[in-house]
Structure 1
Amino acid sequence: MEEYQQTQIFDFNNLNEAADILKAGGLVAFPTETVYGLGAIANNEAAVKRVFKVKGRPSDNPLIVHIANQKQVDQYVASINETAQQLMDLFWPGPLTIIFPAKEGVFASSISAGRPTVSLRMPNQLETLLLIEMVGFPLVGPSANISGKPSPTKLEHVLHDFNGKIDGAVKAQTPQTLIGVESTVVIAEADRIVILRPGAITQDMLSQVGKPVVELSAQEQLENEGVQSPGVKYVHYSPKQPVYLVDASNAIRDWQVFIRSSKVKIGLLADEEWLAVLQDEPMITQVYSLGKRDDIAKHTQELYAGLRYLEDTDCEIILVQGLAEQPSAHAYINRSNKAANYII
């Protein structure tokens, strides 16, 4: 792997070497089922601050801490209520982050951006669970990308942003992460579950807990209350070109009117059906498929990969297909809206 020689690549067979780097305060990117994370041992203040610096991440944007064993959670948090325990039992390991009251003196202070809380999740990814076990302490793991850019779903995305800037990266056994967008983030209270960031664990799925009411926080409320969770305040997921998000209510003729009136090269990110109709339009110079028409999981998995692919082409704007409102599409809708400069 000569092209990656500046940042060392690890796999299942030499994870112990990656663990040694992390224990020494280095930075190693790791795969999860959602996106790749930029790892540092969570009790090393200097290492954690290096994560913020390398990413260009605002210091008031808290980090998620990744753990390998649910049974150890009481070592890291001040208390666990019944709702949080039920969520862990139902969805861990998996793409759910839970915000807990923090136990003092456990983690680097910069992780929680001055708040008395800590965000924990247990990823469903073999290499990463083993890596955390080998390190012997949880890892921070914000998305392994330059802040504001589309998150990485492939090793090549991580290296595009950080080759030569971080110590290492762990290669997964699969070429692309399964889910493709970041975890759902919640606050778990006795009588309600508040979704701060939507993800693969949907509002309907969280309702399985039973008694608590499940609420989805509005973006305006999140911004007014300060940064409780990653992904709720700052510009996110944006390529260098302007992104135009096409509302799901638009018919094919509306797409064609916009495309035919354009005087710049267009990159098209859409499902197979729309691509078949539109890809031969003269101003469409690049395309990327989101998959079959109604496969929302595939759309979500391919969103960041598509934005990154089109960013590296000659297109001057990117046209992205929107999805109709439904619980299973909340993560896609959230991320595509944040990536968009314009909605048409």
Structure 2
Amino acid sequence: MDTKVWQISSDELNGPGTLEKLGEIKTALTYGEVVGLPTETVYGLAGDATNPEAIQKIFNAKGRPQDNPLIVHIHSIEQLKKFAEIPDERVLKLMEKFWPGPISFILPLKNDYIAAKTVADLRSVAVRMPSHPVGLKILEYTGIPLAAPSANISGKPSPTDYSHVIDDLKDKVYGVVASDPADYGIESTVLDCTTFPYRIARPGEITKEDLENVIDGQVAVHSDDMKKPISPGMKYKHYAPRQPLILIEGSVLSQTLISKKGENFGVIAPESFRQDVSDDVEFVSLCQKDDDYREAAKNLYGALRKMDKSDVDIIYIYRFRENPRSEALLNRIYKATGNVLIKGAHDID
């Protein structure tokens, strides 16, 4: 199929022609088509969460494992109440604090309104309310709860710009909304609220500390080695370019660059490491300072995609220091590398 592209920036939401475009998008989604949709985290591949045929189109387009549940996107808490339970006032307090925004809540399913394929036959559902003005407007206008995993080929770097969606899914999906790039660049925090204490199933921009400060209580962390994942990002290798990706401690990155001189490799690192890289090495800067985790996260998937298109044989990526603010960034990097880490000079071939 020829993928349709709708140009709608945040500045154009009230502009001429936007209403017509929104109508076309609503019609497509109502009839079970899938559409690339902007959110503040990454671009999503959206389909009617109540329609099993639409959900199957998402799995088919992405090549996604069927046991990997999808996150349902909504525009209001009232819409959420049609199909999920809010366990207690603490969850509601978190929603009021962080929605719209980059957090998903896993909640008990209330009925069979949501398609079983959407939740991988679980009795819980992950739900989020995005803050991207265009994505949220589409949700409001259509009135449809939209399942929307990242709009990429499963396992590859997630899309943070509509051009990434076109690269991966052109002619595989009905349409793509060409809008502003994602603000955060990595997927939402996922918080399992089906038991207490609540557990983080996937780290994101909103941290454990952020959550605990709101509910004045402890938040735990799920293991991601579950046989049946309750959230995206828990079981499968993700975010990886086609080349081997090696995580490397900053203290030995410069040594590695020297020892590998003449070999066909690429480097993803903070700008300060550019001085150690010769002109014939593919270098992508993630951030100006090595503690600018927000900027690094925003640029990570774009960097991996650029390397994926290059002719390098191997990629080295800088290992940021571990702290609460770098947790989500490191989680995505670890998933992409398969935890292949160079810790010291003795590890260099």
Q: Could you tell me the TM-score, scaled by structure 2's length?
A: 0.90
Q: Which residue of 2 aligns with 1:98?
A: 105
Q: CA deviation at 1:121?
A: 0.2
Q: CA deviation at 1:177?
A: 0.7
Distance in 2 separating the partners of 1:49 and 1:229: 18
The alpha-carbon distance between structure 1 residues 216 and 184, as it changes in their structure 2 partners (threshold 3 A), is: same
Determine whether 1:292 maps to 2:299: no
Distance in 2 separating the partners of 1:264 and 1:226: 41
Q: Which residue of 2 aligns with 1:74?
A: 81
Distance in 1 separating the partners of 2:317 and 2:23: 41
Aligned counterpart for 1:195 among listed residues 200, 225, 231:
200
Contact residue 100 and residue 118 of structure 1 kept, 8 A: yes
Q: CA deviation at 1:35?
A: 0.1
- 1:29 alignment partner, SS class: strand
Q: Which residue of 1 aligns with 2:168?
A: 161
Aligned counterpart for 2:215 among listed residues 182, 185, 210:
210
Aligned counterpart for 2:301 among listed residues 300, 304, 308:
304
Contact residue 33 and residue 180 of structure 1 kept, 8 A: yes
- 1:100 alignment partner, SS class: strand
Distance in 1 separating the partners of 2:288 and 2:97: 30
- 1:88 alignment partner, SS class: helix
1:113-146 CA distance string (max 9 Å, x none): 1210011000001111111122221100000000
Distance in 2 separating the partners of 1:295 and 1:222: 26
Q: Which residue of 2 aligns with 1:151?
A: 158
Distance in 2 separating the partners of 1:29 and 1:162: 9
Determine whether 1:317 maps to 2:325: no
Q: CA deviation at 1:315?
A: 1.2
Aligned counterpart for 2:332 among listed residues 309, 327, 335:
335
Aligned length: 328
**Runs of at least 5 residues in structure 2 that lack an aligned partner in the other structure:** 343-349
Contact residue 92 and residue 124 of structure 1 kept, 8 A: yes
Identity, % of aligned positions: 36
Contact residue 269 and residue 306 of structure 1 kept, 8 A: yes
- 1:65 alignment partner, SS class: strand
Distance in 2 separating the partners of 1:323 and 1:155: 28
Determine whether 1:24 maps to 2:38: no
Distance in 2 separating the partners of 1:205 and 1:93: 15
- 2:183 alignment partner, SS class: coil
- 1:257 alignment partner, SS class: helix
Q: CA deviation at 1:278?
A: 1.9
Q: CA deviation at 1:288?
A: 1.1
Bigger shift: residues 19-28 or 258-267: 258-267
Distance in 1 separating the partners of 2:242 and 2:336: 10
Q: CA deviation at 1:191?
A: 4.5
Cα RMSD (Å) of the superposition?
A: 1.6
Q: Could you tell me the TM-score, scaled by structure 1's length?
A: 0.91
The alpha-carbon distance between structure 1 residues 260 and 142, as it changes in their structure 2 partners (threshold 3 A), is: same
Q: CA deviation at 1:34?
A: 0.2
Q: CA deviation at 1:79?
A: 4.2
- 2:141 alignment partner, SS class: helix
Determine whether 1:269 maps to 2:268: yes
Alignment map for 1:42-61 (pairs within 5 Å): 42-61=49-68
Distance in 1 separating the partners of 2:317 and 2:126: 31
Determine whether 1:128 maps to 2:135: yes
**Runs of at least 5 residues in structure 1 that lack an aligned partner in the other structure:** none
